Structure 1
Amino acid sequence: MYDLTNHLRKRYLWAASVLLFTISLSVGYVIYVSNMQENDAKIINIAGMQRMLSQKIALHRQLLNYDPAPFEEVQLRVAVDRLIANHDFLLASDMFQHPEVSSLLAHNSSLDKRIRAYAKNAVSGEDMSRFSGRPLASLLQELNLVVSALERRSAEKVEYLQRVLPLLILIAILTIWCEWFLIFKPLSKRVSDMLSKLREQKRVATHASRVKDDFLANVSHELFTPINGILGLLKEPAKVSQKDVEVVINCTQNLRSTVQQMLDIQQLKSGRFLLSKSTQPLSTTIKSTLAPHRLNTYFAHRIKLHCDEIDRVRITTDHVRLIQVLNQVLTNALIHTQGEVIIEAHYHPLDECICVDIRDFGDGIDVRDLEAARRNSLHYDNHKVHDFKGVKLGLSLAFAITRLAQGQLHFEHLKNGTLAQLVWPAVNANSENKVLHPGRSRELKALIVEDNDINQMVLRNIIEMFDFEVDSACDGVEALSQVKRNHYDCIFMDINMPNMDGIEATKRIRTELKCDTPILLVTASQDEFRIKQGVRAGANAVIHKPIEIDHVKAALEQVQLLGEFP
């Protein structure tokens, strides 16, 4: 917008300058013509006055011959002086530079000499023949010729100026035309285009605001539903049954799944989403996908699985993300149909890929929802957004994760139902040799640096599962004191803590204490800058909250502190 404003200002100043120049030129020319006509009229008037003065001088001269009165002498002197002054003025004017006029009256011309002699004789009274008869008529005739020549010269100027004035008008019209087509019309188009873009941006912003409101409303519902379930079931701990515990666990998993979906979308948009490969039987992956749905009696009897030949197939791929994609596609199929959902899974060793077909017999997913999901965006229908559970991020994630894994996810709307086809790259690991980590010669010791008691308890329980002896510290200051007094094989360091945060504590452990104990950052933050700060300070690996056994196991394997555990 600033560039457009600057561009408009420059073009406007240029157009205004050209228009001002044209107007100034036209006004100046009109003033010049007016002054010239006024000057020419004055000269012609003075030239005509010379004839009258010549006659007046002749009259006073003749009267003085009969009656030499003082009044007549004064009037004669005044008329003679006026005649000579006018004569000198005419000779000096620019109109008398024209050849036609100068041939009649110029310095030392016959008429010039006659006029000066006429004035001299009028004063001295010599040669009275000049003031009557043929000599006087001849003088008046020559003066009349001068006036006629001046009038013709003035008429020529007016005719010339009349031809120039339309030319100036044409120049002004052409200037305005050029300014319109070369300046104002392009500017008008550019402003119109900019306004169209702004209207489109406003429409997009309005739509985004509406989607945001719908999304927040839907997310809040999906978050509060499991939270209410957890709080309601645990309100009276003494009455909690094993079934209630299982429901609480399911609520917690749903809550974590919703939060994880939003974090995954953010990581995908920022380019920080990574795949982590592992090796396990394909049948295990398929069973893990079906497990939560088979716990639901409404869904369990409707799922039909056809994949007997994959029982002995072991593959290397990101099984967690594969389960996430399959689970989302299967969930969509179960939601959009009341009948059976058929799953067929095959492994193609030559192409090194898994092919999974999920067929349902319902109405299928709306085309607009599919198109929005392919673009990693959200499409909300205000009439349908509350019909189904979930925050409608799963399908977008499924497409995005599949693209990241270099696989393919395709939906085909059939005459009766929908067919979802997933092609997922996977390496056959049946021929790979299993590498065993060496056993331990002693029990390992770990330090947990965490200010939150619940997080500390969860992490302690997980670490103790790997036969670690565990100490704890509530901030970086206490952690430095513990490391000085004890030897640790591993330090689990939270980033955000009071007194001294995990990044500063890691830096001091490396620089001041000269300790090379593996440090594993444990954080719920998605701030990549802070995480990189911790790694530069000396951390060896990162564990993201919520803390999972697999995450801790992978981090311990990364720093080579884990033997083979079931």
Structure 2
Amino acid sequence: MKKNYFLSFIVVLLWLPGFSQTPAKAYKDSIQKLRKAAGEAYSAYDYNASIEYSAQLVRLASKFDDPSALFDGYNGLGISYEVLEDTLRAKENYEKALHYAELTQNDTLLGYAYNNLGNILSSQEKTVNDGLEYYKKAVGIALRLNDPNESLTPIINIAWTYLDNDNYDAAAPYLKKAWKLSSKSNNKSLQSNLLSLIGMYHSGKQEYDEARDHFQLALEVAEKDTLIVDASFAYKEYAEMLVKTGAYKEAYSALEKHQKYREKFFQKEKNLQREAVYGRFKTEFETEEYKKDLAAAQREQKYKDAVLAKTKQITAIMVFSLLVMLLFLILLYRNNRLRKTLIQELKNKNQEYMEAKEEAERLSLLKTRFFSTVSHELRTPLYGVVGLTSLLLEDNKDEKQKEDLKSLKFSADYLLALINDVLQMNKMESNLLQLENSSFNIEELFHGIVQSFKTTRNLNNNKIELRIDSNIPRHLIGDSMRLSQIMMNLVGNAVKFTENGKVWIKASCKQCSDGSCLIYFEVGDTGPGIPDDKQQEIFEEFSQLKSTNYNYQGTGLGLPIVKKLLQLFGSEIKLKSASGEGAIFSFEISFLKGDEKSMPVIKKTALLETEQDEVRKALIVDDNRINQVVTKRILEQRDFECDVAGSGEEAIAYLKLNRVDVVLMDVNMPGMDGMQATMEIRKFDPYVPVIALTAVEVGEMRDEILGAGMNDIINKPYNIPQFFQIIFKNLRQPVVDLE
């Protein structure tokens, strides 16, 4: 509504000359007097008197049906109500003024009507575009009249409307045009308001120095000519700009000055109102009509008092809001500083975490390498101990020495099992174990497990029962090696801690469908059992219950290994036991169904029939003299003719001159290792079988060994039957039947 004060004043000035002529001179004089009185009352801020004179003008002009005078009356009413912020009455009177302006067919009056109606419509959010259209119509009329000065008011109002709606780019060209036109005008009110509008533009564009300069110029013009309304408007917009820059004290001072001007403005109006009422009683027109008008004026005054009170309330709210905003900004600043501090601390913690993580990974890698190295270094001498002990047991006829050799072999086997368990735990903790799928026969696998415990079973006078469900498919696909490890640990514990009792192994089919089978496994014994309070403890690493059987104390790694291996299968171990009642360990694993085609079948050839009569020649490649002797002695027991090479280079030179049936190649040798030597051999002999002998865990190097061109792998130390099984399998070059 702020732009209307300035524009309404310009329109009132245009009333003073008058535009209509009537035949009766008395009527003409009355109309002119009423026009002049209404304009002077408006200029003196006496809006009640202005409304009264405009209403008399309407009543008088209605009697003579004078559209020009009616336009002046309704337009005067609209302007006064607009200043008093009674937009409904202002709009109603402006619309009537537009109607009579159209009847006069006077373009000048029509331009005024368009401009004033645009004031009301542009001040309401829903009708802003309608107000702009009326302004543009007023500009169009001025251009048609070829009078640039007449276009100044609607041009300013267009810019004003865009500024009120924060559309600064759209307002810019209209402000430039208005400034150019105003250079020829001496109207100080116009200049003050236009400078304020330019200040609003720069404030909106965040050009605060330019905005400050223009607001100060606007205030200088308004205060110099005592333009109360214009000064009030300039201070209000100046305060809003200062708030944006954070100059809250200056903004508060500007708001106080804005409020003082408004109060002065309304106080002057009150004084003039009292003088008008008093004068009215002293004139010859003191009639009943004036009493009614006085009552109306008093109602209007009450309305203005309410508006003034509301204005004070709004000012107080604004001041309070500014203080709250200032407090909020302070809190926001402190919060931002705290946030930056916390973010920096978080970055530091993350950096420490990453460094700790990298250090842990480095230590884990070092630990893995350490265990691998120690495993290899321990297995190499154990190969000699186990191998020589096995040979002595076969050759020695002295029963007393045989018992000692059995004890020696048992100790070596126990040490080997310990090394394997520790290495297995290390690999599982380092997440190096992965399941591998291959086809296997569960019945053959379990018979082999039972057979491997023959000695321990007889030692403790136990009986082992094997129960395999006939519904389980003959061939399954899964990781048979990990399953074998699980069963060996469970059966080993059962046999170890049971004396003069029974151990059973059970496998039953729970469900077979969609190409897979869920199999239930159970290992039970009639041993001493496990108390309830110890059943969780036994699955912890290096934890073991006390036993009277001191020959089989063990490391306490068996069951933790079983638990972690079952986690790879997505299963878990279950225990049912009580003290003195034995123990039953059970679990379930799902395997894929296999078929005959997936199982390699070794077809016998004529070579098998002459196996007994033929002498096979083997080359043993190993840098360890004890290992050379052990391997050679074992092979010679099966009528192999053996030669020995101490290095990879020596083996290559030998094979270039001699033909052998199999090469047993140590993997880790100084200089040229076994894999490098094999790759060189394959360059001139792609067919000779080369079998790796290694003390390193097979899973760590299997792909690398086979990729070098070796045919198979034997892990040291080994049991002799498995040793020959692998040799003969490769020696005979079996044909694999995949049908």
Q: TM-score, normalised by structure 1?
A: 0.51
- Specify which of 529, 534, 546 is matched with residue 362 of structure 1: 529
- 1:259 pairs, out of 394, 406, 419, with 419
Give yes or no for the alignment of 1:395 onto 2:559. Answer: yes
The one of 410, 415, 419 equivalent to 2:584 is: 419
Q: Give SS of 1:270's match.
A: coil
Tell me the CA shift for residue 514 of structure 1: 4.4
Superposition pairs of residues 62-211 of structure 1, within 5 angstroms: 97-102=220-225, 157=254, 159=256, 170-178=324-332, 184=338, 188=342
Q: 1:242 to 1:320 in 2, by over 3 A?
A: farther
Shift in Å at residue 192 of structure 1? 8.2
Relative distance call for 1:165 and 1:349 in structure 2 (3 A) is: closer
Does the aligned pair in 1 maintain the 2:621–2:645 contact within 8 Å? yes
The superposition leaves residues 364-397 of structure 1 with CA deviations (integer Å, 9 ceiling, x where unpaired) of 4834346xx5xxxx54669989x99322221133
Counterpart of 2:634 in structure 1: which amino acid? I
Specify whether residues 253 and 488 from structure 1 end up closer, same or farther in structure 2 by C-alpha distance, changes over 3 A only: same
The separation in 2 between residues aligned to 1:474 and 1:94, in whole angstroms, is 106
Q: 1:391 to 1:451 in 2, by over 3 A?
A: same
Pick closer, same or farther for the CA change 1:474–1:488 going to 2, 3 Å: same
Equivalent residues in 2 for 1:40-79, closer than 5 Å:
none
Quote the Cα distance in structure 2 between the aligned partners of 1:354 and 1:466.
Answer: 41
Conserved 8 A contact 2:662-2:688 = yes
Residues 145-181 of structure 1: per-residue CA shift (max 9 Å, x gap): xxxxxxxx99964946999997665444323434566
Counterparts in 2 of 1:155 and 1:175: CA distance versus 1, 3 Å: closer
Aligned partner of residue 459 in structure 1, secondary structure = helix
- Do structure 1's residue 541 and structure 2's residue 712 form an aligned pair? yes
Task: Supply the distance in 1 between the matched residues of 2:405 and 2:432 (Cα, whole angstroms).
Answer: 37
- Contact 1:543–1:555 at 8 Å: present in 2 too? yes
Structure 1: gaps of 5 or more residues? 1-92, 105-152
Relative to 1, partners in 2 of residues 1:291 and 1:481: Cα closer, same or farther, differing over 3 Å?
same
1:464 aligns with 2:608: no
Task: Describe the superposition over 1:179-221 as per-residue Cα deviations: whole angstroms up to 9, x where unpaired.
Answer: 566784698599689979999x99xx9xx99xx9xxx9xx99x
CA distance in 2, matches of 1:428, 1:154: 91
Q: How many residues align?
A: 388
* Residue of structure 1 in register with 2:673 after alignment: 501
Residues 327/531 of structure 1: CA separation in 2 closer, same or farther (3 Å cut): closer
Report if the CA contact (8 A) 2:690-2:712 is conserved.
yes
Mark the CA change 1:438 to 1:394 in structure 2 (over 3 Å): closer, same or farther.
Answer: same
Task: Report the alpha carbon displacement of residue 250 of structure 1 after superposing the two structures with TM.
Answer: 0.5
| Residue 552 (structure 1) aligns with | 723
Q: Provide Cα deviations, 1:114-158, integer angstroms capped at 9, x if missing partner.
A: xxxxxxxxxxxxxxxxxxxxxxxxxxxxxxxxxxxxxxx999649
Structure having the higher helix fraction is: 2
CA contact (8 A) 1:411 1:418 kept: yes
Cα distance in 1, alignment partners of residues 641 and 687 from structure 2: 19
Asked whether the equivalents of residues 280 and 316 of structure 1 are also in contact (C-alpha less than 8 Å), the reply is: no
Cα deviation 1:48-71 (Å, max 9, x = unaligned)? xxxxxxxxxxxxxxxxxxxxxxxx
The corresponding residue for 2:687 is 516
Match of 2:454 in 1: 291
1: distance between equivalents of 2:435 and 2:732?
26
| Structure 1 vs Structure 2 CA RMSD | 5.8
8 A Cα contact 1:357 1:419, kept in partner? yes
- CA distance, structure 2, for counterparts of residue 481 and residue 182 of structure 1: 77
C-alpha contact (below 8 Å) 1:368/1:379 kept by paired residues: no
Asked if structure 1 preserves the Cα contact closer than 8 Å seen for 2:506 and 2:522, the reply is yes
Quote how far apart the aligned CAs of 1:467 are: 3.6
Residues 169 and 444 (structure 1), Cα distance of their counterparts in 2 relative to 1, 3 Å cut: farther
Read off the aligned partner of 1:329 and give its amino acid letter. L
Question: 2:211 aligns to what?
Answer: none
Whether contact under 8 Å (1:506, 1:534) holds in the other structure is: no
CA contact (8 A) 1:447 1:470 kept: yes
Alignment partner for residue 409 of structure 2, among 246, 249, 260?
249
> Percent same amino acid among aligned pairs?
21
Residue 486 of structure 1, CA deviation: 0.1
Secondary structure, counterpart of 2:536 in structure 1: helix
Deviates more, 1:248-257 or 1:400-409: 400-409
Describe the SS at the equivalent of 2:641: strand
- 1:398 and 1:451, CA in 2 relative to 1: closer, same or farther beyond 3 A? same
Q: Residue type of the partner of 2:689? A: P
Give the match for residue 137 of structure 1.
none
Structure 1 residue 485 displacement after superposition: 1.0
On the 8 A contact 1:522/1:542 being kept in 2, the answer is yes
Q: 2:489 aligns with which of 328, 344, 367?
A: 328
The answer to whether the 8 Å contact 1:448/1:472 transfers is yes
CA shift digits 1:526-560 (9 cap, x unpaired): 48676544433322222222233344334335535
Q: Report the Cα distance in structure 1 between the residues aligned to 2:319 and 2:464, rounded to whole angstroms.
A: 96
**TM-score of the pair, normalised by structure 2:** 0.41
CA contact (8 A) 1:521 1:543 kept: yes
C-alpha deviation, 1:488, in angstroms: 1.6
Contact 1:450 1:494 in 2 (8 A): yes
The change in CA–CA distance for 1:522 and 1:448 in structure 2 (over 3 A counts) is: same
What is the Cα deviation at residue 483 of structure 1? 0.6
- For each residue in 1:288-341, what CA deviation from the matched residue of structure 2 results, as whole angstroms up to 9, or x when unmatched? 354343354xxx25x45555999xx99778987666534432454577x78875
Q: In structure 2, what residue type is equivalent to 1:537? A: A
What is the match of residue 8 of structure 1? none
Secondary structure, counterpart of 1:559 in structure 2: helix
Kept in 2, the 8 Å contact 1:506–1:538? The answer is: yes
**1:246 partner amino acid:** K
1:271 corresponds to 2:433 = yes
1:503 positional shift: 2.1
Once residues 653 and 554 of structure 2 are traced to their aligned partners in structure 1, the CA distance between those partners, rounded to angstroms, is 47
Amino acid of the structure 1 residue aligned with 2:574 = H
